[in-house]
Amino acid sequence: MSEIVRPEETRIPRLGPAEVPSPMQAVAPPSAFVDDAPGILLDTDWEKVRARIEAGEEPPCLEPAGPRRRLFFRPREVRAAIVTCGGLCPGINDVVRAVVLTLHWHYGVREIFGIRYGLRGFATGDAPPLRLTPEVVRTIHHQGGSFLGSSRGTPPPERIAEVIERRSIDQLYMVGGDGTQRAALAISEAARRRGLNLAVIGIPKTIDNDIPLVDRTFGFTTAISVARHAVDAAHAEAEGAYNGVGVVRLMGREAGFIAAHAALASGEANFVLVPEVPFGLDGPDGFLAHLERRVAERRHAVVVVAEGAGQDLLAEERRRLGCDASGNPRLADIGGYLCRRIREHFRAAGLPLTLKYIDPGYTIRSAPAVAFDAIYAQQLGQNAVHAAMAGKTEMLVGRVHGRQVHVPIRLVTRLRKRIDPGGLLWRAVLQSTGQPARMGGAACSPQPASP
């Protein structure tokens, strides 16, 4: 990790003492339950851990996820709500289903509501919440998209807290990315000001895989699998034409994890352009010159570009586009711009060119989860419920170093997760593609390393 994390930052807030025996004790073996004692080291660099211990400092650790023997809430009295926010992502319905089934079958909760179309569902009366039961969610995991619907943007937290109080909601499960987790904190604080005992549990969802600390967000493996087919298709199109170039634009606003992993999975990409590594187009060492040389040598090339890459080349368009409902700057179309510049470059050089452009973005977002993501999403949903029932709040569930753990939302929203231009992942990309480490004289300026 590139940033110092203090031990106290990894502690999970609690609503109060857990004194209610869990109904799971009647059916689950003792080994199924876990303690609150932190047990998973955040830093895997043993030398750093040992140095902290020798200096008399406590290394930061995370709580393991899983069912607790004693609960804060009385299960039969609980009213729970789940909401899905932001863009679509494979596995959302798997998470919703897992939360509902765990609440119903493991804890006996009968009042479960699905908030429609993201957080706007709290603020408008045009889409009332759905009452969720095992029968209602029985087959939704076979569908892509979000069964509940989703949207961007956050109504005033006080307004949401007012609805939560009026509906007597005790637990709120929020499925979304970093913006959703920031909203979760604001809602929790607004509820606390009203004196509510509200457990707010985040389930990290972002197809870009840019939630800090956690190994992977659910849906990312599915995204790579679908994106790989797009890269393979671009290679087939490029290889089948004289001076063929295939350009694939993949999702990744500020982090190029999908582009990097899809390129590695395919093995057919010759250039990968990501937001974390600046590049230039022009000049003898620019991307266009390198592309021309590659096509001259092999008669074809495949370019994979993340949607957030090269935004500095389109600064004026970005200013004109402004921000979306979540406050994120809208991205200029780097894919279309890149294709236009490639055509202009080859035309000016008097070279023939066959260019194919593929953008599978919405195909990826709406795909049903592959087996790995379906299992992972189910585990996240189950562990989110276990945490809420024990009175945990302002935290998210995720896998860190291969273990399911509790992560404070405040810590997640303080850090950033990006590709490290000097790290193993980007070195693997450079080795796979053979592209130069810098293009157009743009240095690979250091970015915050991935935790």
Q: What residues are annotated to the active site? A: 208
C-alpha span between 320 and 315 (Å, rounded): 9
Residues paired with 362 in a beta bridge: none
Burial of 165 (0-12, 13-18, 19+ CB in 10 A): middle
In terms of DSSP bridges, do strands 40-41 and 61-64 run parallel, antiparallel, or are they unpaired?
Answer: antiparallel
79 sits in which H/E element: strand 79-84
Q: Who contacts 116 (Cβ-Cβ below 8 Å, separation ≥6)?
A: 127, 128, 129, 130, 148, 149
Give the pair of three-digit tokens for residue 210: 């840019």
Distance of CA 120 to the CA centre of its chain: 21
3-class DSSP assignment, residue 64 = strand
Give the pair of three-digit tokens for residue 186: 């604001």
What letter does residue 103 receive in the DSSP assignment? Answer: I
Look at residues 93, 194, 419 and name the one whose alpha carbon lies nearest to residue 101. 93
C-alpha span between 43 and 184 (Å, rounded): 26
400 sits in which H/E element: strand 395-400
Give the pair of three-digit tokens for residue 359: 């953008």
Type of residue at 154: T
Distance of CA 59 to the CA centre of its chain: 26
> Between the CA of residue 4 and those of 135, 182, 400, 408, 451, what are the distances in Å?
46, 21, 17, 15, 11
What are the helix (H) ranges across 44-118?
46-54, 92-101, 107
C-alpha span between 1 and 450 (Å, rounded): 7
> Between the CA of residue 46 and those of 52, 211, 445, what are the distances in Å?
10, 24, 28
C-alpha span between 145 and 90 (Å, rounded): 7
C-alpha span between 352 and 360 (Å, rounded): 26
8 Å CB contact between 335 and 249: yes
In terms of DSSP bridges, do strands 395-400 and 111-114 run parallel, antiparallel, or are they unpaired?
Answer: unpaired
What letter does residue 105 receive in the DSSP assignment? Answer: I
C-alpha span between 120 and 123 (Å, rounded): 5
